A and B are shown apart, each in its own frame.
Chain A
Amino acid sequence: EPEVTQTPSHQVTQMGQEVILRCVPISNHLYFYWYRQILGQKVEFLVSFYNNEISEKSEIFDDQFSVERPDGSNFTLKIRSTKLEDSAMYFCASSQGQAFIEQYFGPGTRLTVT
């Protein structure tokens, strides 16, 4: 069964450093998303991406964040200058068509900022 994959599974970085989290969505899906889950809190939407542009983003997704689909398979989330409060589990998701029908989630990348 097709699945969303994410690398790395765990990333440790120092405050102020740039990180890139990588995702490979399901191959025939057209919509891509990033969510994050701070430890003990709810899963929060960050951004959605369709047709090579951001279609929706939350207040969390400020100028420190960017997304890119550099080729036909990868979908990346970049945090330009990490802060301690960026420590969280980051989930990538994708959907085939209408976004609100179903989204398939990856296993997540745990980001630890020290």
Chain B
Amino acid sequence: AQSVTQLGSHVSVSEGALVLLRCNYSSSVPPYLFWYVQYPNQGLQLLLKYTTGATLVKGINGFEAEFKKSETSFHLTKPSAHMSDAAEYFCAVSGSGNQFYFGTGTSLTVIP
């Protein structure tokens, strides 16, 4: 079975500061890991994904995440926050079957 835990339902950062959104997963099979972003009144947009290969994956809008098997983590980072990054971020895992397992989401606020 798979599951995801996102620590921190709300994160606030200053514009230009580092963004760090935490995600830990549990999976009985090699996981596929995803970060999705949801802007107000919009659907879930894929930011980045890890399937196999390089453990540091780069996504859209300057985001990246590193798969750390030993820590069962897939934290999302961005060196410098922008006002347009304010949104809800969801970590998800899949590994077999058809469904994705989502975390509860982290709401990111960027302070000017």
In the complex, what residues of A have CB within 8 A of residue B92's CB? 43
A45 in contact with B100 given A100-B95, A105-B44 (CB within 8 Å): yes
Query: A97 to nearest B CB, angstroms?
Result: 12
> What interface size band does chain B fall in?
20 to 34
Docked-complex contact B102 and A100, CB < 8 angstroms: no
In the complex, what residues of A have CB within 8 A of residue B101's CB? 45
Give A50 to B95 CA distance when docked, in angstroms.
18
In the complex, what residues of A have CB within 8 A of residue B99's CB? 33, 45, 48, 56, 58, 99
A42 in contact with B32 given A99-B94, A101-B51, A108-B43 (CB within 8 Å): no
Docked-complex contact A100 and B98, CB < 8 angstroms: yes
State which of B32, B43, B100 has its C-beta within 8 Å of the C-beta of A4: B43
Within 33-65 of A, Cβ neighbours of B (below 8 Å) are at: 33, 35, 41-45, 48, 50, 55-56, 58
Which A residues have a C-beta under 8 Å from some C-beta of B? Answer: 4, 6, 9, 31, 33, 35, 41-45, 48, 50, 55-56, 58, 91, 93, 99-108
7 A-B pairs closest in CB distance: A48-B98, A45-B99, A100-B94, A105-B44, A107-B43, A43-B102, A99-B98
